[in-house]
């Protein structure tokens, strides 16, 4: 064992190289070998321009390949130490690129990558994933979100970059954003600029309202059975004790579904930090703004974000002419009083609506009954204005629990306000969307770009525990089988059906609804097909309680800081 004395200078060629740059042989013979020794000589003679195949698909021979990798013919050493250093630097850039040379452009979608032990590596693009699959160096691990698993790479042999996960929680939808944040320091001024690139976007749709309605219907049936011509029985909930920290099932579902997505993304990408938008709604102050002192009973009036609540409530549109405040042709929106202040109106949230500048000036001090002549529109405006604050109350109930669950993951969590998110979105010209709001959460100066697709995740559940189907009076009607799996399929599985002949001949992909017979129902994003025999189906991915659908993401309206020449 040789010893290097302190202060001695060692030649660069004898220094240990990064593990990510070492050649790792693949499982298939002849692919990924260092010098092509497993390839027959006849094949080597005809493939001398292919060069050396490295760990993540880099080639070092023949013509230059895109991405800035230097071309070095196989079996030839660099002519000088300087050239060798430049080659190694280019290879490093190929694996862990800087924000200016990132592979994730607006035309690429991200593909998650796992090592041979199913541990997360850095995501890649579709083109690189196709090459790895075609060469036999990777296999498909999961269909949605699309994930591949490398056969010849481990975490110790790879170079990882810390990624961040932004979360924009909501009562009905939660935005998710997997991104990379880089801080650059200006040497002349010492100013630190934070840039962020969106690698993956997702939107999670909760089913909390559906759970609430099902629980209400169950309570009504039980209440009817107790008092309808039968012996009265006391309600069971009066004999039960509520544990500390208990949340209603409809509220607990929002926390559980969000944490499920966070945990799954942690298993697919090297997430090093979390960002959460904590929005608190003061529903008492929103209902009665003038209340104070002993009547309030809840402390100071803090945390109220009425403007953001009204924008979400009326979907960024004018209630009088349906003019939108987002997208192409957007107009400025003002807060208008249905009953003007001059006529005794208050600032209660039920008296506030959104109106464009033109309609607000035309309405003036008139009431909504005198300004709107259309009876249908007038009734709709009044109904929307009196919408209860269920969504705001649900977020107040679950925001602290969600924050505690994220702290339990052990990752650093950055808290941000809704005002900071909107400020980042407006100054960077980012359109309004749940997934893009998650990208704007936290401290950031410039948002470079984001992927062109958003994965729409909808909570559909895993079926019912109830084995007895009841009629509208709550009495048993039929019994469901206890066995949920039929002929190897479970409701919710993602399948591929290849029907060779008949009126339904073709190839279909979608979720399956099983039956006790051999004919199932197949649900695609656009149609439903009944009576498809299970022998034509092949399982692509087991059902996990969610349905997935990709949709295009919104494009940037303005360039960062209003520069129109750099619009993405």
Q: Are 457 and 205 in contact (CB under 8 A)?
A: yes
Higher pLDDT, 291 or 514: 514
Q: What is the pLDDT of residues 34-59, one digit of tens each?
A: 333 333 333 333 333 333 333 333 33
User: Distance between CA 123 and CA 104 in Å, rounded?
Assistant: 9
Q: What is the pLDDT of residues 501-523, one digit of tens each?
A: 888 899 999 999 998 888 999 99
Compute the average pLDDT of residues 80-90. 40
Percent of the chain with pLDDT strictly greater than 70: 70
Compute the average pLDDT of residues 220-236. 70
Q: Is the pLDDT of residue 269 over 90?
A: yes
Q: Is the pLDDT of residue 6 over 70?
A: no
Higher pLDDT, 175 or 77: 175
* The predicted structure's pLDDT at residue 87: 40
Compute the average pLDDT of residues 425-445. 91
Compute the average pLDDT of residues 4-10. 39
User: Distance between CA 351 and CA 287 in Å, rounded?
Assistant: 9
Q: Which of 39-53, 147-161, 223-237 has the highest mean pLDDT?
A: 147-161
Q: Are 121 and 155 in contact (CB under 8 A)?
A: yes
Compute the average pLDDT of residues 275-297. 57
Compute the average pLDDT of residues 533-538. 92
Element (H, E) at 208: helix 208-227
**Angle 392-396-398 (CA atoms, 0-180°, nearest 5)?**
115
Q: Are 464 and 210 in contact (CB under 8 A)?
A: no
Compute the average pLDDT of residues 306-317. 81
Q: Is the pLDDT of residue 566 over 50?
A: no
Confidence band of 239 (pLDDT split at 50, 70, 90)? low
Higher pLDDT, 213 or 98: 213
Preceding amide of 83 cis, omega within 30? no
* The predicted structure's pLDDT at residue 294: 39
Q: What mean pLDDT, rounded, does the chain reach?
A: 75
Q: Is the pLDDT of residue 91 over 50?
A: no
Q: Is the pLDDT of residue 33 over 50?
A: no
Domain architecture of the chain: domains with CATH: 24-57+66-72+79-157 (no CATH), 161-223+248-281+395-461+551-568 (3.30.420), 283-388 (1.10.30), 479-544 (2.30.30)
Compute the average pLDDT of residues 399-416. 90
Lowest mean pLDDT among 106-110, 193-197, 276-280: 106-110
Q: Is the pLDDT of residue 161 over 80?
A: yes
Confidence band of 241 (pLDDT split at 50, 70, 90)? confident
* The predicted structure's pLDDT at residue 344: 81
Q: Is the pLDDT of residue 138 over 80?
A: yes
* The predicted structure's pLDDT at residue 454: 93
User: Distance between CA 375 and CA 443 in Å, rounded?
Assistant: 47
Lowest mean pLDDT among 286-295, 349-358, 484-493, 537-546: 286-295
Confidence band of 305 (pLDDT split at 50, 70, 90)? low
Q: What is the pLDDT of residues 437-476, one digit of tens each?
A: 999 999 899 999 899 899 999 998 887 777 888 887 778 8
Compute the average pLDDT of residues 168-197. 90
Compute the average pLDDT of residues 304-308. 68
User: Distance between CA 506 and CA 243 in Å, rounded?
Assistant: 54
* The predicted structure's pLDDT at residue 88: 38
Higher pLDDT, 221 or 70: 221
* The predicted structure's pLDDT at residue 140: 93
Secondary structure of 350-408 as H, E, C letters: HHEEEEEHHHHHHHCCCCHHHHCCCHHHHHHHHHHHCCCCHHHHHHHHHHHHHHHHHHC
* The predicted structure's pLDDT at residue 31: 37
User: Distance between CA 182 and CA 164 in Å, rounded?
Assistant: 11
Confidence band of 195 (pLDDT split at 50, 70, 90)? very high
For CA atoms 277, 283, 289, 293, the dihedral sign is negative
* The predicted structure's pLDDT at residue 221: 77
* The predicted structure's pLDDT at residue 329: 74
CA dist 458 → 49, 149, 174, 398, 405 (Å): 48, 26, 10, 19, 21
Q: Is the pLDDT of residue 100 over 60?
A: no
């Amino acid at each position: 064992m040789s010893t290097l004395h302190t202060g001695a200078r060692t030649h660069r060629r004898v220094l240990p190289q990064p593990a990510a740059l070492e050649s790792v042989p693949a499982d298939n013979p002849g692919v990924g070998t260092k010098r092509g020794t497993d390839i027959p000589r006849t094949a080597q003679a005809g493939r001398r321009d292919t060069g050396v195949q490295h760990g993540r698909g880099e080639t070092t021979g023949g013509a230059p390949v895109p991405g800035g990798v230097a071309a070095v013919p196989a079996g030839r050493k660099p002519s000088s130490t300087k050239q060798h250093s430049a080659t190694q630097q280019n290879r490093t850039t190929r694996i862990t690129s800087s924000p200016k040379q990132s592979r994730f452009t607006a035309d690429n979608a991200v593909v998650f990558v796992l090592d041979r032990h199913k541990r997360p590596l850095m995501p890649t693009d579709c083109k690189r994933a196709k090459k790895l699959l075609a060469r036999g160096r990777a296999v498909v691990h999961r269909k949605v979100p699309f994930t591949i698993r490398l056969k010849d790479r481990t975490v110790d042999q790879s170079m990882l970059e810390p990624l961040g996960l932004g979360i924009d929680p909501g009562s009905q939808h939660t935005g998710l954003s997997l991104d990379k944040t880089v801080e650059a320091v200006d040497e002349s001024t010492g100013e630190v600029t934070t840039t962020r690139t969106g690698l993956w976007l997702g939107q999670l749709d909760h089913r909390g309202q559906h759970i609430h309605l099902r629980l209400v219907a169950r309570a009504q049936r039980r209440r009817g059975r107790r008092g309808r011509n039968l012996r009265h029985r006391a309600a069971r909930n009066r004999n039960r004790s509520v544990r500390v920290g208990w949340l209603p099932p409809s509220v607990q579902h929002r926390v559980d579904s969000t944490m499920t997505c966070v945990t799954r993304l942690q298993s697919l990408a090297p997430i090093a930090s979390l960002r959460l938008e904590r929005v608190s709604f003061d529903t008492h102050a929103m209902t009665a703004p003038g209340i104070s002192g002993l009547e309030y009973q809840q402390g100071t009036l803090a945390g109220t974000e009425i403007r953001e609540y009204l924008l979400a409530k009326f979907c960024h549109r004018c209630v009088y002419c349906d003019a939108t405040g987002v997208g192409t042709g957007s107009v400025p929106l003002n807060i208008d009083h249905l009953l003007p202040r001059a006529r005794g109106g208050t600032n209660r949230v039920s008296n506030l609506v959104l109106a464009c500048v033109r309609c607000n000036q035309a309405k003036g001090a008139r009431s909504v009954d005198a300004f709107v002549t259309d009876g249908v529109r007038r009734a709709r405006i009044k109904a929307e204005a009196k919408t209860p604050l269920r969504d705001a109350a649900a977020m107040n109930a679950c925001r602290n629990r969600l924050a505690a669950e994220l702290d339990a993951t052990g990752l650093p969590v950055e808290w941000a306000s809704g005002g900071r998110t909107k400020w980042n979105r407006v100054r960077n010209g980012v359109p309004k969307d749940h997934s893009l709001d998650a990208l704007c959460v936290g401290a950031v100066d410039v948002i470079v770009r984001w992927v062109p697709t958003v994965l729409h995740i909808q909570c559909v559940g895993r079926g019912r525990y109830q084995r007895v189907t009841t009629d509208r009076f709550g009495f048993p009607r039929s019994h469901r089988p206890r066995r949920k799996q039929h002929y190897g399929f479970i409701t919710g599985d993602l399948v591929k059906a290849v029907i060779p002949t008949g009126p339904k001949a073709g190839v279909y992909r979608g979720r399956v609804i099983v039956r006790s017979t051999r004919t199932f129902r197949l649900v695609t994003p656009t149609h439903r097909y009944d009576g498809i025999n299970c022998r034509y189906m092949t399982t692509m991915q087991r059902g996990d309680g969610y349905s997935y659908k990709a949709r295009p993401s919104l494009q940037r309206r303005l360039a960062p800081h209003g520069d129109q020449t750099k619009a993405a």
